[in-house]
Amino acid sequence: MASFTMRARQFLPVIGLLPAVLLLASGLVFASSMLDLADLISHPEQYDRQEVIVSGEVTNVQLATNRQGQPAYGFLLKDHAGTVKVIGLGQVEVREGDQVIVEGIFTRLRQAGRTIIYNEIKALSIKSMTRMNPDLVG
């Protein structure tokens, strides 16, 4: 696998934007399992309450504490197609402008009191593409 990884790294800059193979700490994730935000936003009912993997730029990072006193966070994940909200518990290691890969459970609609929240991902993991391999991010 190490030789495949090295060959993939050499090939990735040639193919442009998001590489066909993204290297994650947990192993390899193929782009076919990565969902475009455009698809997620255009067909939210198709992905409702399912695990998704998406990428984009972090904006509007907000830190909070939940009712049990645990740290929590929220941020917007955006790309050329639009924006989804990402939430989670714990400390988040992202900053404004970071390019990240988010794996989580997508909800097309949830009600919080009188507020309706659309297109939200409850993060299971967040990986910074910049910190994974700075050479892969433009």
Q: What is the pTM of this model?
A: 0.73
Higher pLDDT, 48 or 24: 48
- Predicted confidence at residue 133, as pLDDT, reads 56
Where residue 21 falls among pLDDT bands split at 50, 70, 90? very low
Q: Where in the chain is the domain with CATH 2.40.50.140?
A: 34-133
CATH architecture designation of domain 34-133:
Beta Barrel (2.40)
By residue count, the chain amounts to 138
Task: Name the more confident of 133 and 92.
Answer: 92
Asked if 94 contacts 128 with a C-beta cutoff of 8 angstroms, the reply is: yes
Q: How confident is the model at residue 136 (pLDDT cuts 50, 70, 90)?
A: low
At position 55, the amino acid (one-letter code) is S
Quote the mean pLDDT of the chain: 80
Helices assigned H by DSSP within 16-128: 37-42, 44-47
CB atoms within 10 A of CB 81: 14
Residue-wise pLDDT for 114-135, tens only, equals 999 999 999 999 999 876 655 5
Q: How many CB atoms lie within 10 A of CB 35?
A: 16
Residue 23 has a pLDDT of 43
Confidence of residue 6 (pLDDT cuts 50, 70, 90): very low
The pLDDT assigned to 130 comes to 72
Separation of first and last alpha carbons in the chain: 26
pLDDT band at 87 (very low <50, low <70, confident <90, very high): very high
Task: Give the span between the Cα atoms of 100 and 102, in whole angstroms.
Answer: 6
Q: How far apart are CA 99 and CA 19, in angstroms?
A: 13
> Which one has a higher pLDDT value, 13 or 96?
96
| 103 close to 95: Cβ distance less than 8 angstroms | no
